[in-house]
Amino acid sequence: MRAEFREYRRAFRRPLMTAHGVWSERRGILVKLTDAAGRTGYGEIAPLPWFGSETLEAAIALCQSLPEFLDLADIRAIAPTLPAGQFGLESAWDSLMQHDPRKSDLPDWEPPHLSALLPAGEGAISAWKPLWDRGHRTFKQKIGVGELAAEQAAFAELVGQLPPRARLRLDANGGLDWDTACRWLEQCAVHPQVEFLEQPLAPSQFDAMLKLAERFPTSLALDESVATLAQLRTCWQRGWRGVVVIKAAIAGFPSQLRAFCQQHPVDIVWSSALETAVARRYIQAHLVQPENSGNRPDRALGYGVAHWFCDPAFEQDSAAALWQTLTASAIA
């Protein structure tokens, strides 16, 4: 089938601050496959290099290296070093081959099921209420971005304002050390609204995170540590039974991720890699399914991020409509 690629760019309303630095623009690639019968399937390559996936440049090079007319063997041969590319191409193939109108007609997720991403630090204090009024009940805040005392003061004010039934996730993006992680977990212990602390330490400190998980009552979640299916498998084998945050758009071949999740009772929070509706709808239809044994209905999905962008078309339009808007940015 014929493969075509177009690049997209989306500016954030305001730059997203994480322990990895400042991020101001989301760039990625839409994939279109067309078979001899004229059927089409769309996919999306949304790299997150600071999170462990390939760079956009490497993804573009992959697109340029693939034959214009490709088959499944070409897709399955995409290297594990290109997990966003594996996802984008296999999901496009899957969408074309197994086109299921019932699945593509799934309604978009409603706010109560989505964890809404708040700004780091003090910015969260004025940001949570409008999102609560829109129906969000779970929130997420980045920590490890600024100075510890200021962040903990902002956190204390935020949890003081949040209604008791709200839930708050803290995400350190691996930016803490043992001592600061303990300081955060001591503070979290007296706030039952905290659902979990996400990736307190760098992925290399896996054993220390196991110890932290035993020492404090607040749950820990791995995210950077399980960026790809291969890493998820390793952490599972090494004994991690806590929460895992899965960004399916950068995790590799979705068929393999789906199989792993069906075979292991993993406590998963499905989460956005700040991809567009093209990858999100595929993930919703093909991965976030009750038959995946670990999907707990009380875990909000990490997809409450639309308010970070100012171009709703990328959240709402069909893949075919989005594709049409990108004619000028074809990757040759």
CB 171 within 8 A of CB 135: no
* Nearer of residues 89 and 172 to Mg ion, judged by Cβ: 172
Least spacing, CB of residue 172 vs Mg ion, in Å: 8
- Using only the alpha carbons of the chain, give its radius of gyration: 20
Task: State whether residue 139 is helix, strand or coil.
Answer: strand
Q: Choosing from 32, 140, 211, 247, which is the catalytic residue?
A: 247
Positive/negative CA dihedral, 134, 138, 144, 149: positive
* Nearer of residues 151 and 198 to Mg ion, judged by Cβ: 198
267 is in an annotated binding site: no
Least spacing, CB of residue 275 vs Mg ion, in Å: 15
* Nearer of residues 60 and 245 to Mg ion, judged by Cβ: 245
Least spacing, CB of residue 271 vs Mg ion, in Å: 7
* Residue of this chain nearest to Mg ion (CB atom): 223
C-alpha span between 50 and 89 (Å, rounded): 21
Residue count, binding to Mg ion (CB under 5 A): 3
Closest CA to 6 of 25, 30, 26: 30
Length of the chain counted residue by residue: 332
What is the number of H-type helices and E-type strands within the chain? 13, 11
Tell me the window of 34-42, 156-164, 196-204, 229-237 that interacts with Mg ion (CB under 5 A): 196-204
Least spacing, CB of residue 51 vs Mg ion, in Å: 8
C-alpha span between 282 and 325 (Å, rounded): 20
Closest CA to 277 of 246, 320, 224: 320
94 is a site residue for Mg ion (CB under 5 A): no
Q: Which of residues 146-185 bind Mg ion (CB under 5 A)?
A: 171
223 is a site residue for Mg ion (CB under 5 A): yes
Least spacing, CB of residue 82 vs Mg ion, in Å: 21
* Nearer of residues 196 and 314 to Mg ion, judged by Cβ: 196
198 is in an annotated binding site: yes
Amino acid at 298: D
Q: Choosing from 129, 140, 142, 211, which is the catalytic residue?
A: 142
Tell me the window of 8-16, 35-43, 194-202, 311-319 that interacts with Mg ion (CB under 5 A): 194-202
Tell me the window of 57-65, 80-88, 202-210, 215-223 that interacts with Mg ion (CB under 5 A): 215-223
- How far is C-alpha 298 from the chain's CA centre? 18
223 is in an annotated binding site: yes
Contacts of 211 (CB under 8 A, 6+ apart): none
Tell me the window of 197-205, 231-239, 251-259, 289-297 that interacts with Mg ion (CB under 5 A): 197-205
Least spacing, CB of residue 245 vs Mg ion, in Å: 5
According to DSSP, residue 106 is labeled P
Tell me the window of 35-43, 101-109, 187-195, 218-226 that interacts with Mg ion (CB under 5 A): 218-226
198 is a site residue for Mg ion (CB under 5 A): yes
142 included as an active-site residue: yes
DSSP string, 25-86: EEEEEEEEEE-TTS-EEEEEE---GGGTS--HHHHHHHHHHS-SB--HHHHHTS-TT-HHHH
195 is a site residue for Mg ion (CB under 5 A): no
* Nearer of residues 33 and 221 to Mg ion, judged by Cβ: 221
CB 254 within 8 A of CB 91: yes
CB 170 within 8 A of CB 148: no
Instruction: Please name every residue paired with 69 in a beta bridge, in sequence order, or none if there are none.
Output: 2
Q: Which residues are part of the catalytic machinery?
A: 142, 247
Residues that bind Mg ion (CB under 5 A): 171, 198, 223
> Known binding site for Mg(2+): residues?
171, 198, 223
